[in-house]
């Protein structure tokens, strides 16, 4: 039996412009994404057989390891494979990644057991499902070497729009439906206080409700290869925010509270529902975390992750 385990990081969208509607039903976007210090943990076992099994455990984002902090009392870890929010069949991106890995090249099938310890919130805009899928592809290819790096990257595009971003290290500028990714560097460290309200937002729903697109006037800084902290604050923008705020005004309220707590800027990430504030100093983030924790149960203090030099 072969075995591997790896963390799968969350991400934040530091800007997200929706620039067009495509014939395939997707939207064209331009987005800057940075990985942050909140992780799911993926454990894979490969042995003789012919089945893919996915089990979900953990806290679905209510607590996180490492340098992450969470407000509120700890929630016991319990099996969640029957959680209605997280499928364990081919609708699960990790399952789909494993299935595609074997099918694409006609690789002899194995019994693959995938355990996902969830810490990244569901329907939060933090990319947990995409990160899990990228992690599964990468680990399977280490256990069963079958694809070159470029081949595996191309394969990831078939699973989900954000999956290619998680196949690379560091931050990235994504375009198309998200599958075209260019590496960029963000000066750091940047610290974030992230608030998960008591509801999620479906990505499909958010895009279906868009009433206008950003077709002209994109800031010049949307195509840089290096971003300073000040650049990030200046270009912070999310075209899906207005849609989300119309449905859930609490998103705007959270933004205002983050700004009042000292954030340099605040925005929703992805299609929501998580909202984050940017801080240049860790002490500033700590102070805001403690303040915001008085009003919300699920609050994280996170650090941006850049590629190791």
- Same domain? For 279 and 239 the reply is yes
Do 203 and 91 have their domain in common? no
Give the SS3 label for residue 267: strand
**Least reliable range by pLDDT among 27-36, 68-77, 141-150, 298-307:** 68-77
Tens-digit pLDDT profile for residues 169-201? 999 999 999 999 999 999 989 999 999 999 999
pTM listed for this prediction: 0.90
Among candidate residues 183, 208, 232, the one where a domain is terminated: 183
State which of 162, 183, 204 marks the end of a domain. Answer: 183
pLDDT digits (tens, 9 = 90+) for 91-134: 999 999 999 999 999 999 899 999 999 999 999 999 999 999 99
Shared domain for 162 and 200, answered yes or no, is: no
Model pLDDT, residue 211: 77
Do 195 and 179 lie in one domain? The reply is: no
Same structural domain for residues 202 and 146? Answer: no
Q: Are residues 100 and 199 in the same domain?
A: no
In tens, the pLDDT along 236-280 reads 999 999 999 999 999 999 999 999 999 999 999 999 999 999 999
How do beta strands 111-118 and 27-47 pair? antiparallel
Q: Is the dihedral of CA 115, 118, 122, 127 positive or negative?
A: negative
Does residue 60 register a pLDDT over 50?
A: no
Nearest residue to 94 via CA among 178, 163, 3: 163
Same structural domain, 230 and 90: no
For residue 150, give its domain range: 2-183
pLDDT beyond 80 at 85: no
Residues with Cβ within 8 Å of 297's Cβ and at least 6 positions away in sequence, in order, are 62, 71, 72, 198
Same domain, 131 and 264: no
- Asked whether residue 198 falls in the same domain as residue 290, the answer is yes
Give the whole-angstrom CA distance, residue 153 versus residue 126: 20
Q: Are residues 17 and 148 in the same domain?
A: yes
- What is the 3-class SS of 10-63, one letter each residue? EEEEEEEEEEEECCCCCEEEEEEEEEEEEEEEEEEEEECCCEEEEEEEECCCCC
Residue 186: half-sphere exposure toward Cβ, Cα within 13 Å: 30
Mutual angle of helices 93-104 and 149-156, in 10-degree steps: 130
Cis peptide upstream of residue 189 (ω within 30 degrees of 0) = yes
* Residues labelled catalytic: 11, 162
Total domain count for the chain? 2
Indicate the residue among 183, 207, 230 that finishes a domain. Answer: 183
Sign of CA dihedral 219, 166, 128, 73: negative
The answer to whether 38 touches 51, Cβ cutoff 8 Å, is no
Residues 216, 160: one domain? no
* Residue 200's CATH number: 3.30.70.890
Give me the chain's average pLDDT, please: 88
CATH number of the domain that residue 16 is part of: 3.30.230.10
Q: What is the pLDDT of residue 215?
A: 62
> Bridge-partner residues for 40, per DSSP?
8
């Amino acid at each position: 039996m072969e075995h591997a385990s790896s963390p799968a990081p969350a991400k934040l969208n530091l800007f997200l412009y929706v620039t067009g509607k495509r014939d395939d039903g997707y939207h064209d976007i331009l987005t800057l994404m940075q990985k942050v210090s909140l992780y799911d943990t993926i454990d894979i076992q490969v042995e003789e057989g012919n089945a893919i099994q996915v089990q979900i455990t953990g806290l679905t984002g209510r607590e996180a390891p490492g340098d992450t902090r969470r407000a509120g009392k700890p929630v016991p870890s319990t099996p969640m494979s029957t959680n209605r929010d997280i499928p364990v069949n081919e609708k699960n991106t990790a399952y789909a990644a494993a299935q595609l890995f074997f099918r694409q090249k006609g690789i002899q099938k194995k019994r693959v057991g995938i355990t996902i310890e969830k810490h990244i919130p569901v329907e939060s805009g933090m990319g947990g499902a995409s990160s899990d899928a990228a992690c599964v592809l990468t680990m399977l290819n280490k256990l069963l070497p079958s694809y070159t790096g470029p081949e595996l990257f191309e394969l990831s595009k078939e699973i989900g729009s954000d999956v290619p971003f998680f196949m690379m290290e560091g931050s990235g500028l994504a375009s198309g439906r998200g599958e075209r990714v260019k590496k960029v560097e963000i000066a750091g460290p940047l610290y974030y206080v992230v608030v998960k309200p008591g509801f999620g937002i479906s990505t499909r729903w958010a895009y279906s409700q868009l009433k206008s697109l950003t077709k002209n006037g994109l800031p010049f800084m949307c195509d840089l290869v290096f971003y300073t902290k000040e650049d990030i604050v200046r270009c912070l923008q999310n075209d899906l925010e207005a849609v989300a705020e119309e449905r859930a005004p609490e998103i705007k309220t959270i933004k205002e509270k983050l700004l009042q707590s000292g954030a340099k800027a605040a925005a929703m990430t992805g299609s929501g529902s998580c909202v984050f504030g940017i801080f240049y100093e860790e002490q500033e983030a700590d102070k805001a975390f403690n303040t915001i924790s008085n009003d919300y149960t699920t609050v994280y203090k996170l650090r941006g992750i850049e590629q190791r030099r």
